[in-house]
Structure 1
């Protein structure tokens, strides 16, 4: 049967249309809403791996260059500005259902996120998943507020400002170092319950209570919370100012200076054993000294005061010799150090050189020179104490000189530093010694002269000073003369 030309054309276009629809059908897939392998995502640097699975159909509809993409909504579940958080390799997934592991961005923070799946070849997009809470915990360790001082006070009608401490340190990972984080402040209502007060990096308090702050990680549990601070209203114009030592109390000075910190106020004055510490007018005071420290804090309309008996854990020690010691040639001197250190060790030095085989608490020596001993405690509060001393040859106090000198040079060079006179006039002879300034003022008098004048530098300058002496023996004999002191 023959067909007319018009009929042939109609069949041709019909076949084309049927072929188009057949080809189009092969190029389309449907992706089901993703199923979550978690109820909430509490990600961190130590854990950030989550799973989602989804179905798609038909499998034959996938092209060989297809990639599956995971998009993350905003914190309200809106995909208008969705963020791509995962892209598969080309042709990686070819069978349904598919399961994908992915991670959350470090900026994730909210209670109503959703994800959806997209295919690239052919193009297809699933509906959104169920809503879920998701947070990336940039900081997840305890931190401090109020400089770790456990109390604060405000005057009646005023307030007290609590703030998160910053910058961070090895012992305080301040969350303020992570600008994207937000914070919630709470007031305790019982040892185990609390109520939300406000958001922010600081909190102005005008109600008594115990306060703390947590990093806002929503329904995700976290260790990112502060210490507690108890705030009180000053009664009768006076409040207690707690003092905290950064190294604890007792503290170990081998770790360096400890920082004493008190409550916040308008101005401060620190004291040690009741005496004003000059220049100590800040909220913090650094020290390595033991003693009773106190502080007065001006809160504006009232005052606060507090104290701490700061004790060092470093061992106690002592040495049985003076800084300068004299022995005669051939004599020996025994030096002993006492201490209560744990497992102490000893090092002895002469003129800067280690003395070999001397490792006990005592040293016996007959050598002149500059010595030092270092006591070291290697357990507990590890640290060391050093003592320095000098051994010199003894100088005869009453040498047998013939003449009364008229020049003295008291410059501590060991030569002619003192006015040394004949033995007939010194200690034991009951001789009267008087010395006068050039203006006639009596500057020295004794009946028991020890060859020890001048006993200080007498304000020596570049100009030589002249003094006059009168020596009178018990027998009535006398001698007079002048003494020139040269520098």
Structure 2
């Protein structure tokens, strides 16, 4: 067979195996397609997924092209959102058993929250990481509700007799389903006389005649397979009867009073529904034309309406009648809830009210106080006091409201409590305010009453530190801002004969100082390469400690000299509190930090030049083999072949990299070799722009599309033996790549 025929045959085989010549160097993942369900016995490929509890099994077909994926690969089938977006995909299947199967099917189930018209699939491989094109868009729904809906006015569950509602001209009603939970999580198809309306929500306001019904919107395909079509409500238009509520005898009620609300249309066999503030308070009842408002029921105030319906009349709602509370007034206590009365002292209690012409009566411990009939009272005895306020005139003259209670105490002693005014942590805060937080009156039996509001301004105060008075600190608070103020604090208080001392509080402030450390390098080159870590803070007057990775390494060296990698920190003691520095990380030297954009082998045509650039260093020196400096920047221009050296620095570390510069060989890739052992053209020799390069991959395929070699840094050593060839003349296909770029491809004929 002639060589060109060999090539044609080989290329055809390769195309059949790999799909295209470009696919030889990478897998191609094809977009997934819907597939038939083999378990249903049919041959119909689905075009929409309508899943439910009773059926939820679907298949998609997936194909991909060689070469093989890695052995640890998984193929993952993902589902988009309802709009086709994969910003947050759902993983449907993760399969690691199909790594040698180029055509297979994923079996999956729809998630139960799937509802939409624009879902798409894609397939991802994990090793190597690739993603297929997205599939076409498909309607997909999980039908979790599959029963007929029931609709009624306002979804109240009362379907009108005969399914007919007659509206008065110009009025409207709201239709809603009443037998489905979480109704607002679905979309709906509302119909009027078989015409689909635009409303998709769980309710529909109607005002025109027609036959109305609804179904859950499961899409153009799946809605028909669900069973949610509702009952039909017929809306007709009739003449208004002019329903209204007759003016009641009164609309401003006192507690315990009642008033009857009466409809102006009675005894016609109509159905009535009464509403308060738009909410039904009665069920539909024939001739229920009267409703009694009871002011003894809490919350009776509001707007009342009545709705009528019936044969020969339209559904009609009256205008509202407002019922108010005539005896609604407030009573406010003007003094603190807890009050102290000291021996020989008098305190005044008082209340305020919004009542007009009120009457007052004070009580102590539940017993009426004779003569205490004004809005205030002077007290000298301990007890529980309140005022009863009564309306003296008007319709609700018997209405009485009691004030909140006031606790009056005569203490045996007082308890003063102090606390930190804000969040406080010892040796963390640089300032803090201490305050009198509460004052308790202590009875003879030990019981305590909080009287802070009443007495905090009545006491006099003296703050003490470590048992000594602090000059000028006589208020309810003290502000501390310096470490010299660290110590134990109390406050002495005084009121007449009482002299309580507070609880103690300890204060340990951290010095308001920043401790900073610095180093003359952050990369350790070797165990003998020392890095100095220093601080500008004077360490001679106090104790300090150096730490590496949280462990102490020195308590004496003001300058720490280190060679070990790790995280370093300095801690200085300030008045019993640790002052902690910033961190410095010393990293091990890594010569891979220095990179060359050309690699360590540079090839270019003779007579031209090549710029090579280095990155990762802080300084550079480019030298030839005679140690002549070519450049001290991050780049150098080569014009001559030969061996060169780059000396790069990272901090105080140096690394040397060798480079070889070769002129580009101009001979072409051979397409015929003769493996007869005569030492001439026995091996396939590539130009130096392709061989001996770790970034160039050389792949050779036989006529079956099988790889013969696949290697980087090709050494011009194929074939290694003449015995590898069964035929006199064999044709092989080759591809030379650098990363994903195809540099060269073609055939080579081996003549034996």
TM-score (norm 2): 0.28
- Structure whose CA Rg is larger: 2
TM-score, normalised to structure 1, is 0.42
Of structures 1 and 2, the one scoring higher in RCO (CA 8 A, sep 6+) is 1
